[in-house]
Structure 1
Amino acid sequence: MKEIIGIICVIIVMLQPVIFIVGLIKPALIIPNKCSVKNRRMKIFGICLLCFFVFAVVGGNLLPDDIEDKAKKDTIENVAECDTIEIPVDSALVLCYKPEFDSLYNRLLALDSDAYGYMNRKSYHEQIQNLLYGKWWNAMSAIDSTHNILPLSNTEYKRACKLYDKQFARFVLYGDEDESSIQFWAKENANKVLRKTLKDPKSLIVDGDDIRLSKTKKGWRCIVPYRAKNSFGSYVMETLTLVLNYNIDKSIYECIDAY
């Protein structure tokens, strides 16, 4: 009999938060009188608080100790079982770093269709390199310095590196692919090359706006139109073809060939 009363007391204690919330929303359902809403809510709060403590004490005294002890024992056993569960570290590493790489890599590819993509290209390369050669690699090395016991992580890491290698090779050749920047450096390099070979270097005029650009396997091919005086003192129109590569460290385009 005591156990039944104790269980009823516990149920009443558990119902108090529900009654209190209902009383806040619809106080007339709990105290149907003509006093103000504010007064009803204060009374509901007091009643719920009183019932909570009274029935909690009564229920605690009526329930037998063995039920409480059993509950504690079950809780301890459950925690112990959780502590013995093996965490799949290999899969966890992949779930941690692969989605981040995929997101950065896809955004890097999407720059090709963005008119202002050149503004973010270098930043995405830096983020991917920091992820691949920093965070992801260091996390695997900390767990397995031999890189033999994390097959899934190693497979996904190598796949990511292979994908990125193609984009990095492209970046080494073509840089951020900002055409205005390429034309600027083509003009600068053309001035350096031509001033060494012209009869009258001071007469050199390079039109940077008319420089034609195209990609080759060696880098950017830049056809640079220029005017300069010939041996007879007359201005003639000529073109110079340059091949430019991107210097990652200096963030500039350098001439590797001219003809």
Structure 2
Amino acid sequence: MAMAPSSSSSSVTSRFQHSVSKNALRSYLAEFISTFVYVFAVVGAGMSSRKLMPNASLEPTSLVVVAIANAFALSSAMYIAWDISGGHVNPAVTFGMAVGGHISVPMALFYWISQLVASFMACLVLRVTVVGMHVPAYAIAAEMTGFGASILEGVLTFGLVYTVYAARDPRRGSLGSIGTLAIGFMAGANVLATGPFSGGSMNPACAFGMAAVAGSFRNQAVYWVGPLIGAAIAGLLYDNVVFPYSQPADSLRGSAQGNNEV
């Protein structure tokens, strides 16, 4: 009985030491760079569409521009950090991975810090360099409530994180760039589906950076609560129900093939 506290303390110390190791620091830098690139492209695309179309919020073309920017930027940002930090580029993805036990809590916290700082810096660079234009912030449509928007963002993030889990699963083989493309396509499709309603954020860091530079944190909880819950459900469902680690990948694939033949 006397050994339990010592063992627990040793485990915590070990996890903290791992979170500040050389490889861990490389991961945080990779997350910073990837998140900066992603947020800069997505927010910049939104600002560009407003520059070219004064009534961008009413133009379907603007929605398509932002969706394409999301798909391209997220695929690229995840690809460049895929083998270093896992290419999370999103606090919700990090949270989902932490809930599933794929990353320790101390490392997840450092990931969050890297992502939030990177998002803020990207939005700040846009604000300083693009004179005369304000950095936009996500807004909820008049037809929606904060609760409804949070559920919507949760569903979107569920789909995104579930795709991330599938793309990173080693039992599916090495997907490489195809995996990051699938994740980007999911993000782009989600923006097309819900952009006019909640903004289609799916990324608390992006929402935070935009709000911080814009100076308005209204409805900020919507872009944290919904995505984090959706991410957690996606991770738990994938690892424990749909594709549990207790069952070999071959048996699952064989079962699926058998069902297809019937």
Q: Smaller-chain TM-score range?
A: under 0.3
What is the TM-score normalised by the length of structure 2? 0.22
TM normalised by structure 1 equals: 0.22
Which structure has more strand as a fraction of its residues? 1
Q: Which has the higher contact order (CA 8 A, sep 6+)?
A: 2
**More helix per residue:** 2
Larger Rg: 1
